[in-house]
Structure 1
């Protein structure tokens, strides 16, 4: 039996960027190389403060020869998408690019499970993209094990049944996500505080160190080339009463990290690498915490 599931992601929004300057406009702002986005390749990146701290992360898709689509956080009442839209409009200046919020026109869907990519006829290459029923299907640009992201016009969910996908729910999707160590924007990243390389953006294809300048580039590059990464966002297993996000993780009387999110008995935490070496016994509240390092994570050589 095929193991292909899908979950609607109502917490996502879609912004269209069109016009002749759409690529050059975004290229000067986004951490990844927008010039590589095509009908066959989607991407992942972030918009940072001028000081290099996290503001927004998002996916970028090629819609047609004149338009790119940005799939981003919507926020509880649409505020995160509205803030990104406002920020992009502020930086647009005289660029020949038009912005429009088309969230109401699309369903954003996560397709996951061990057969998800084959059901969608996609190669297991992060970012691999093709059209689907006047929409877009793409292998998650961060990690192929995450499955695919699909943008479908409203009222086209019959396409999910057509590929044999079984309906799931957003919480099941997020449990899978945190078990793989993948952040979900401001749920785990602190706005105006988080640094990309502490949150896996290099390994997850969210930063291009060879492209030209973009806003916040200096801190990102300095963090990499000076080896300044001493903390990492990593998956945790929780044994006991689930602590709240924001609860410190302790190694004896020393703080070893802080929980960023909890989904079921798993979560993500920002971990101080030097505090979890060896057989560290970690706890948060009344729960025992076990930290794991996914295969895709590249820790500094002097870290555990």
Structure 2
């Protein structure tokens, strides 16, 4: 079973009598129906509906202290804890950044749960992503390998900070609506009105989608061009596959005009991921 120590991930714990109700009113996923030992993909948004930070929200069993663990980018863990603390007010909630003592490891390639110390949960975004284990950080953590990144990219799963910019992307643009990251039936949360409007009006034209290429990988952050027109931004890539945040309507116009899509002069071929339900150029909405 392949595995990778994810040194770029941190852990924030939210516990206390009001933890579920507290998070329910803030984040995009449904926390109140989340059972112990399960995970849901979610995010904290700005009031304008843009992603502040995304995470896997994990229910902690009562015999392990209860509450929730947020598996989130390590560089944003402290800021996430601070922001949640700002919203805490009088709620009976404790927010802790546990990125020091706890570590995140990914396992994939097998249906059986990993035999590892810590709390193991299924990654809810895609079945093939496998398991996440939150456990004590080893005294000498092994170096993270590129295998997990290659696996993630092959599935077309965006990574915040690489495939979309925090503070500048709506959940639909980061495919959170496609990857079970937004519960459209739950009650109010920060930024909900904007996200719901985009969902009901179908106004999301920009998406992070897989691309393939034959040459050296384009650098992250390069403009993706169709002729003289920018159609997106290049994200992460490896082994001839990558992700790019693209305006699909402009990609469709380029295809009709016979214009190649390039990043840094390298031709790209956009590919619809197997999990996508949004309309691909030339298709009707699924």
Provide the TM-score with structure 1 as the length reference: 0.84
- The answer to whether residue 101 in structure 2 is matched with residue 101 in structure 1 is no
Match of 2:274 in 1: 295
Distance 1:297 1:208 in 2: 17
- Deviation sequence 1:209-255 (CA, Å, 0-9, x none): 11000000011001010110111100111222322212122222332
- The answer to whether residue 127 in structure 2 is matched with residue 148 in structure 1 is no
- The answer to whether residue 73 in structure 2 is matched with residue 73 in structure 1 is yes
Gaps of 5+ in 1: 122-131, 158-166
Change (3 A) 1:37 1:223: same
Match runs of 1:205-220 below 5 Å: 205-220=180-195
Comparing 57-66 with 84-93, greater Cα deviation is found at 57-66
Aligned residues: 275
Secondary structure of the 2:85 match is: helix
Match of 2:211 in 1: 236
Tell whether the 8 Å contact from 2:222 to 2:233 is kept in structure 1 after alignment. Answer: yes
1:117 aligned to which of 111, 117, 126: 111
Match runs of 1:49-64 below 5 Å: 49-64=46-61
The root-mean-square deviation of aligned C-alpha atoms, in Å, is 2.2
Secondary structure of the 1:186 match is: coil
- Alpha-carbon offset, residue 27 of structure 1: 0.6
Comparing 177-186 with 208-217, greater Cα deviation is found at 177-186
1:201 aligned to which of 176, 201, 211: 176
1:90 aligned to which of 86, 90, 103: 86
Gaps of 5+ in 2: none
Match of 2:4 in 1: 7
- The answer to whether residue 202 in structure 2 is matched with residue 227 in structure 1 is yes
Secondary structure of the 1:110 match is: strand
Tell whether the 8 Å contact from 1:54 to 1:189 is kept in structure 2 after alignment. Answer: no
Match of 1:162 in 2: none
- Alpha-carbon offset, residue 29 of structure 1: 0.5
Comparing 236-245 with 200-209, greater Cα deviation is found at 236-245
Provide the TM-score with structure 2 as the length reference: 0.89
Tell whether the 8 Å contact from 1:117 to 1:148 is kept in structure 2 after alignment. Answer: no
- Alpha-carbon offset, residue 155 of structure 1: 4.0
Tell whether the 8 Å contact from 1:175 to 1:263 is kept in structure 2 after alignment. Answer: yes
Match runs of 1:31-42 below 5 Å: 31-42=28-39
